A and B are shown apart, each in its own frame.
Chain A
Amino acid sequence: MTLTRRHILAALPLTGAAALGLGFQHILSSMKTGQFDPRAIRTSGEAVPQFPPLSPLPGLKGTIEGIECTSLTQQNKPILLNFWASWCIPCVTELPLLSALAPSLTLWGIAYKDRPERASAFLTRNGQPFERVGQDKDGTAAIEWGVTGVPESILILPGGHVVWHHRAALTHEVITHDLLPLLRPFL
């Protein structure tokens, strides 16, 4: 073995450890800014999935329709689909942000595994930003959408293209950094 080769071999563990260390350092720093979530799920679903029609939520003010597949794909404006539930605490904090979005963006809500009377009481109490509200009593529609819990928000562009799936409560930062840039061509 030549001298240089021995040296290269002996330096290999150091290089490996350094690479791992740099990786960890990068992960830690992006975790601090919230960009790295080890539990994030990303789906590549571009088209609106086939889901059973969701009946409207009774007890709300005015006539609010339910949600079904065809009406979602035939829209000519972007739609933000929001999964929520009356038993979910982060949903309460998310509602004012949704209400602020409502004038500029069409919001459709889906009540996930909720009793209709509780769901409608929740919206009456905390504000109702949704144009349509559907009920997903047993969570089958949520599974078709690849939703793991509430709240989650999905952006659908005209023609039924799913472009964005956020798996946590919306925050001011998420809306300005992630959501609004996607909406710019339509505003």
Chain B
Amino acid sequence: MMDFFGPEEGHYALALACVLAFCQGIAPFLKRQGRPSFFSPLTPGFAWAHALALLLAFMCLMLAALRDDFSVQNIAENSALAKPLFYKITGIWGNHEGSILLWIVLLSLCSACVSFIHTRHQNPLSRLKRHALGVLGLISAGFDLFCLLTSNPFARLFPMPADGMGMNPLLQDPGLAVHPPLLYAGYVGFVVPFAFAIAALIDGQLTRLWATLVRPWVLAAWALLTCGIALGSWWSYYVLGWGGYWFWDPVENASLIPWLSGTALLHSILVVEKRQSLRIWTALLALATFSFSLSGTFLVRSGILNSVHSFANDPTRGVFILTLLALVVGGALTLFAWRAPSLHDESSFTPLSRESALVLNTLFLCSLCAVVLTGTLYPPFIQLLLGHTLSVGKPFFDSTTIPLTIPLLIAMGIGPALPWLHGSLRTICKRLYPAFLCTCAACIPAFVFLPDRMAALCAVLALWVISSSVLALFHQLRVATHPFRLSRKIWGMTLAHIGVGVTILGLCGMSAAHHTIVAPRLGEHQSLDGLDWQLVSVTDHPGPNYDARVAELRVSRHGHPIAQLHPALRVFSHPHQTISQVAIRSFLTGDLYAVLGSTEHEGQETRYILRLHHNPLAPWIWLGGLIMAGGGLMACPFGRKHTQGTPS
């Protein structure tokens, strides 16, 4: 039957998922005569069933989209008959309801994976796991209800329209197929450390074992979030055609804040694992990171923040969200306020040790996080308290966050060279002096080529990070018997640090970017940054659901052709909108970037308005992001069993 797995089945599966999530949430906490009840061992089963039900609901929505079932409101509003098949699928998470469904699907998959962790029966870790599953279940139940009650993707429309309203052409892009799922997976992934932190606070079992158990999840979520952010910024770079890559917009900040606190968590959890110290701080970071992700994903949808990325704002939805947030975040922080004072750290630190470097790094990251958070929330709160409006934008963030990154970068270079417990200044100097010399040598070209002093300084420090990371790796390799014996942790750490350096070099290169707006006739030459740009032809091409006007540009240096660019303007008929298709040619040294504007007629002459950019080192920004994410994944010690746990 074709009608099988229609929207009604999806709706039912969603409702069933709510019930299953609720069961998963309460089962581990049920007690009978002081012992876990009969339902308690069923918790992993509930988690699996919950994930399956939500996957079924998701599949039903996807089938409805593929079948062009415009009786479903969500499909009618965001799809159309003429939309290409690929975007019918990716369009599911291109709107509020669908993205919420994707969010809860990912959340349920997380708890299904947690239930997969193998622990021996009656061991303290198995208790921890059960409680964490319970917390995950309760959170899932809340958000399943949110999806079902306020943003139901299966809501019906009557009478059924003959065709849908179509999707915003800006969203019809392959980048958007992967960006939201990765970003959401990153956001949602931090729920696992959150749930385990709560379970540990309940049990009072915040031990080294706890850290070993949670660290892979932090790494995986962090890597996914890094990937998601990098993709998002790349998407805005090549789709929006404004030549930039980061708006410092509330929505972007909403992803950057959990990334910063997640990075801090990543480092502080290492201290817990090695030294069983810094436990309160780590628990707080675990709680804060997921709270930031939650607030980021959901407050954006309430219309409070003044953002370029605009969802269909709905204050009534906002009230539900706020209640949920108050329950999840408020509950977690209350537990923290109650239980954290009883956690005592035994060990002390010497200033010159690996753990001190990690603490310092965590503190710098948290300072950055605090600045971004304040900047994002300042305008609405000033308006609320004083009734005045003000804007906090890119110039503010640039001038405050860049100086804060400088000490972070310096510390990043020194940290990996320090030994645990206590190091001596002499050994460190001895170990780092080649990197230091390399950095000093880089000063001259950096300050000559980069017009901006701050950018030059950052570039130098990025080189410092890269060279000292490579040095630290060499040192480790010399000590290790065989390169493959070297732990993946060290490879991952080095990679991730090199990734940070590469990204920062890219950002610094972009500070020397140049652009110009020109209106050439056919065949005319323009010059920008020593390159010659010739407009060869402009032709019209029909596309699947648009008509395109494509220009051909030939770029050459000293007479040698180096690239051909085809910027285009696409006129979509459904909905009627004109979208500029940016042409980018990436080299390792930078990007050539061209945007086609309108056409001007002056008597007999026709001129085409073009915006040409030369962006040095631009691809490095995203390349660095990918390297960071790769490093994070590499360091993930998945597959290691956690059964050897004995109560410590």
- Direct A/B contact, Cβ within 8 angstroms: yes
A interface with B by C-beta (< 8 Å): 3, 6-7, 10-11, 13-14, 17-18, 20-21, 23-28, 30-32, 36, 38-42
By the criterion CB–CB under 8 Å, are A28 and B319 in contact? Answer: yes
By the criterion CB–CB under 8 Å, are A10 and B381 in contact? Answer: no
Interface contacts beyond A14-B336, A40-B383: sample of 12 additional A-B pairs, CB < 8 Å, sorted by A: A13-B287, A14-B337, A21-B325, A23-B384, A25-B322, A28-B304, A28-B318, A31-B315, A32-B316, A36-B384, A38-B303, A41-B389
List which B302-344 residues lie within 8 A (CB) of chain A: 302-306, 315-316, 318-319, 322, 325-326, 329-330, 333-334, 336-338, 340-341
By the criterion CB–CB under 8 Å, are B383 and A10 in contact? Answer: no
Cα A23 to Cα B316 with chains together (Å): 16
Known pairs A27-B304, A31-B315, A38-B383; A11 contacts B330 (CB<8 A): no
* Of the residues A28, A30, A40, contact of B302 by C-beta under 8 Å: A28
CB neighbours of A21 from chain B (8 A): 322, 325-326, 329-330
Known pairs A27-B304, A28-B318, A36-B383; A14 contacts B333 (CB<8 A): yes
- Nearest-neighbour CB distance to chain A for B347, whole angstroms, equals 15
Cα A41 to Cα B388 with chains together (Å): 8
List which B352-404 residues lie within 8 A (CB) of chain A: 377, 379-381, 383-384, 387-389
By the criterion CB–CB under 8 Å, are A32 and B315 in contact? Answer: yes
Cα A10 to Cα B284 with chains together (Å): 9
Q: In the complex, how many residues of chain B place their beta carbon closer than 8 angstroms to a beta carbon of chain A?
A: 36
- Nearest-neighbour CB distance to chain B for A131, whole angstroms, equals 32
B interface with A by C-beta (< 8 Å): 280, 284, 287-288, 291, 299, 302-306, 315-316, 318-319, 322, 325-326, 329-330, 333-334, 336-338, 340-341, 377, 379-381, 383-384, 387-389
- Nearest-neighbour CB distance to chain A for B286, whole angstroms, equals 12
By the criterion CB–CB under 8 Å, are B341 and A6 in contact? Answer: yes
By the criterion CB–CB under 8 Å, are A14 and B299 in contact? Answer: no
Which A-B residue pairs are the 7 nearest by beta carbons?
A: A14-B333, A11-B337, A6-B341, A10-B340, A38-B306, A28-B318, A32-B315
Cα A14 to Cα B341 with chains together (Å): 14
Known pairs A14-B330, A14-B333; A27 contacts B384 (CB<8 A): yes
By the criterion CB–CB under 8 Å, are B336 and A13 in contact? Answer: yes
CB neighbours of B384 from chain A (8 A): 23, 26-27, 30, 36
Cα A10 to Cα B332 with chains together (Å): 12
By the criterion CB–CB under 8 Å, are B341 and A28 in contact? Answer: no
By the criterion CB–CB under 8 Å, are A42 and B388 in contact? Answer: yes
Known pairs A10-B341, A32-B315; A27 contacts B380 (CB<8 A): yes
Cα A38 to Cα B340 with chains together (Å): 37
CB neighbours of A28 from chain B (8 A): 302, 304, 315, 318-319, 322
Across the interface, name the chain A residue whose C-beta is closest to B323: A25
* Of the residues A13, A18, A25, A40, contact of B284 by C-beta under 8 Å: A13
- Nearest-neighbour CB distance to chain B for A39, whole angstroms, equals 6
Cα A6 to Cα B343 with chains together (Å): 10
By the criterion CB–CB under 8 Å, are B380 and A13 in contact? Answer: no
By the criterion CB–CB under 8 Å, are A17 and B319 in contact? Answer: no
